[in-house]
Amino acid sequence: MAFFADDLKVFSTDVHSDTPAIQLFLDKLTDWCALNKLAVAPQKCAVIHFGPNNPKRAYKYGPTPIPIATDLRDLGIHVSDDLSWDAHVNNISKKACGRLFQLFKTVKTNDCRLLTRLFKVYVLPILEFGSAIYNPNKVSLINTIEDVQRLATRIIYNRDPKLRSTPRPSYEDRLFHLQLKKLSTRRAVIDLKFFHSILYRYSKINLSGVSFKESRTRGPKIKLSFKRAKTSVRQNAFLHRSKKQFGSLPIRIQSLEKQQDFLIAVDNFLP
């Protein structure tokens, strides 16, 4: 069970039992709410099933069936039952494009620096919120997100009268001129920052199935240990992909314990 403000989530791996833990919880919740005269709207709740071997049971709150969803929005992240991120990426890209057009239509300026700053402040957060969770490995999804920044750099470039009269440079050259990095690189930095904060205990997040081990070899003094991923979905989950990427960094960067020193080194190292 997990709480966030007035949001409650109940989850369980006990899906094959004759008396599933989730239904037992719902029965107790029904009785508790009735006793305390609290109204619950089951039609506003949802059940989502994960995994190919999930029996996909139906659950009830009292006599009322709880709707089954194939995807739902949880704290700003669209989660699908197949654990793909297509719906989320398409949603945030569409929202970011809408914000981009609204912003550049409202702001009447040809100042490239100001337009770039506005893009970073008002559009990028839409694309990067929670990226440690959904950071995609599918090329099509990576391109869908990157296309928003491609579009933004074209608009900014075309706004400048001095640049507009010259042949439009490549995306990479526009990034260099506007002092931007690819969004895929920015997500990698976010992943590495979060992984570093877990490794060196800056983050107090509770991770089940993860152990911290002291290392006598070169590199970090502490190493994370957890089960090897057997599926492609798990391989691209945060801990697995970020541990692999962290291990690809030079030893001198991995060994930096101070977060600010680590971030500066990573930012200079990644293209």
Q: Is residue 138 part of a domain?
A: yes
The pTM of the full predicted model, rounded to 2 decimals, is 0.85
Least confident of 7-21, 136-150, 231-245: 7-21
**How many domains does the chain divide into?**
3
Are 176 and 204 found together in one domain? no
Last residue of a domain, one of 69, 98, 119: 69
Query: Which residue segment(s) compose the domain that 9 sits in?
Result: 2-69
Are 170 and 98 found together in one domain? yes
Q: Is residue 162 part of a domain?
A: yes
Closest CA to 138 of 84, 65, 70, 77: 84
pLDDT in tens, 113-160: 999 999 999 999 999 999 999 999 999 999 999 999 999 999 999 888
Last residue of a domain, one of 142, 159, 180: 180
Last residue of a domain, one of 40, 69, 98: 69
Are 57 and 110 found together in one domain? no
Are 169 and 92 found together in one domain? yes
- What pLDDT was estimated at residue 20? 84
